[in-house]
Structure 1
Amino acid sequence: MRPLRFVALGDSLTEGVGDPVGDGWRGWAALLADGIAQGPGECGEFGEPVESLGSVEFTNLAVSGSQTRDVLERQLPAGLALRPDVVSVVIGVNDTLRCTFDIQAVAARLDTVYSAFTDQGAVLLTACLPDPGAMLGLPGALARPLARRQRAVNAVVHALSERHGAVHLHASEGAWLTDRAMWSADRLHPGERGHRQLASRFHALLTARGLATGSAPSPEPEFPVPTTSASLWWLATAGTGWVARRCTDLLPQLLTLAVDEMRHRARGTSARLDLRASAAVSAALTALSAASAAEQRPDVA
């Protein structure tokens, strides 16, 4: 019997940023893989990122900075070729940090990716994610537009996860969001303790469905917490570059959104912005439902 195959798709969160091991990153997905099953395993067949973890073959296809378009166009074909038994698709924050943000396009891409894997029979793992503006501590006028975008992405992920029968983790809420011990210096990525919490929570969901037989990942860190000086140095060098690369094209639009936000607040019409975002989510999901119905409708002679 071949080992169970677990493939992870996504961005820097799944790549493991914030959980350094050696010269690279580990992350929640690798921690989870070690607890999905137990027993003798063997090495994988596809590419160098494969790790032999007991009776699980783990392949991490996640790439820092990825958006839903990257998952659809680059990671999906490689993931399908592996024919995974379990696949995680955790993505969306980088879409909200781009001036090209389009919730209807995000919904369509996620629906395509989810259905491609579930059609193969894979167990699908998804998660809704925290608001990046709040995590960064941005001023209200700048944070609210990002929060609205992340709520829209989360609403889409919730709906599509239910539609495709995914194992869904509510990672956008809970005490862990305000516990600094869970987060790395950049405040956007979990530290080792945070990655372990994500792995443990996914493991609990899989165990409840009878889909995980291995031991739960330990919530306690394996490595010492980085010193304050080391964290500040990372943030001032690599961390600053990371944020700059992902937000440069957003900044002009974000300032425009902030001005619009303040104008609506001054007029007492902020609720219109929330209603507009909700309407966009509803339209995106309705469009997907209509397209699905059209595909299933038999041709009339």
Structure 2
Amino acid sequence: MSTRAAPVRFVALGDSLTEGVGDRVDGRWRGWAALLAEGLRADAAETAFTNLAESGAQSREVAERQLPAALALEPRLASVVVGVNDTLRHTFDIGLLAARLDRVCAQLTAAGAVLLTACLPDPGLMLGLPAPLARPLARRQRSVNAVVHALSARYDSVHLHLDAPAWTADRALWSADRLHPGERGHRAIAAAYHRLLRDRGLAEGPPPSPEPRQPPPGRADAALWLATAGTAWVLRRCHDLLPQLLLLAAAELRHTATGTGARLDARAERALSTALAAAGPSQ
């Protein structure tokens, strides 16, 4: 009788970063989660990997659509990496985000999954936006990261600080759009998670190679992105993010001119404290 162990189930939830945008192989996105899955067991066939992440997904889509699908798969590992898209919407609400992510983490943990989480870079910094536009986004992303960091401690997740300068300052890790990792970046994320999982006895196979197989994007690639996908990205946001972002920028300028900028930080801190308190222990 065969004693072969059942495959380890790894399910990835999140947005375009986990979907694999920036790491295209054979006409499809691959990404860090797929690279990581290959090294969870000595024999890659012993890993059952499902990627539920969707480009543009916010915490609401993760909680309402991806979570039920993930629970049905009974995963041993589940990555929950999301939040940047929430900061890029006029509907941003740190309280709702905290409650949704807490519910996702609580239910996956209760189902027996070990969580993978990450703090994410500030999109304003990555895009090099002017200060009045960048500061509101930075304030939002700091709040999201604080929530994710608190939840990672609560649920003992395998956690990466992708907002650290070692990640954000290394341009070789990022694709032409400046928002998603390139192949080298996806490989680096997969390797970092692999090290942490190996320390917990949860990764037995070889780590992914750090060296990309595709050439890194150059200036021509960046120009092409700005002329095609980048323009489409801006147009999509014009009906959602941009009007409110301009209002936020105007508020930044007013408070800067009157020396009361600290009030905006204090308001964000109060909202964050309320959100963390309301999320409470597992729900």
TM-score for the superposition, normalised by structure 1: 0.89
Q: Residue 210 of structure 2: SS of its match in structure 1?
A: coil
Task: Give, in whole Å, the separation in 1 of the partners of 2:272 and 2:232.
Answer: 32
Q: Cα deviations across residues 179-225 of structure 1 (Å, max 9, x unaligned)?
A: 22111111111110111111111111111222111111111102222
TM alignment of 1:124-273, pairs within 5 A: 124-246=115-237, 248-273=239-264
> What SS does the aligned partner of 2:12 have?
strand
Offset of residue 243 of structure 1: 4.3
- Indicate if the aligned counterparts of 2:106 and 2:155 stay in contact, CA closer than 8 A: yes
Deviation for aligned residue 1:238: 2.1
Contact 1:103–1:284 under 8 Å retained in 2? yes
Aligned residue number for residue 37 of structure 2:
33
**Which of 98, 115, 139 is residue 106 of structure 2 equivalent to?**
115
Counterpart position of 1:106: 97
Structure 1: tracts of 5 or more residues without a match: 40-52, 296-301
Where does residue 87 of structure 1 map in the other structure? 78
- For the 8 Å contact 1:97–1:247, the answer to whether it is kept is no
Q: Which amino acid aligns with 1:144?
A: R
Match of 1:20 among 24, 28, 42: 24
Contact 1:9/1:75 (8 A) holds in 2: yes
- The 4+ residue runs of structure 1 with deviation greater than 4 A are none
Instruction: Determine the structure 2 residue equivalent to 1:44.
Output: none
Deviations along 1:7-65, one digit per CA (max 9) or x if unpaired, are 001000000111111111111111111111112xxxxxxxxxxxxx4311111000000
Q: Which is further off, 275-284 or 223-232? A: 223-232
The two structures, once aligned, show a CA RMSD in angstroms of 1.5
TM-score (norm 2): 0.95
Following the alignment from structure 2 to structure 1, what is the Cα–Cα distance between the partners of residues 238 and 189?
Answer: 25
Q: After TM superposition, give the deviation of residue 230 of structure 1 in Å.
A: 3.5
Q: Amino acid of the residue matched to residue 94 of structure 1?
A: N
Quote the offset at 1:245 in angstroms. Answer: 2.4
Q: Which secondary structure state, in structure 2, belongs to the residue aligned with residue 185 of structure 1?
A: coil
Equivalent position SS for 1:87: strand
* 8 Å Cα contact 1:134/1:147 also seen in 2: yes
Greater Cα offset, 147-156 or 229-238: 229-238
Structure 2 unaligned blocks of 5 or more: none
Distance in 1, matches of 2:221 and 2:122, equals: 26
The one-letter code sitting in structure 2 at the alignment partner of 1:106 is L
In the alignment, the residues of structure 1 paired with residue 99 and residue 238 of structure 2 have an alpha-carbon distance, to the nearest angstrom, of: 23
Partner of 1:260: helix, strand, or coil? helix
Residues in 2 aligned to 1:94 and 1:246: alpha-carbon distance in whole angstroms = 11
**Residue-pair matches, total:** 279
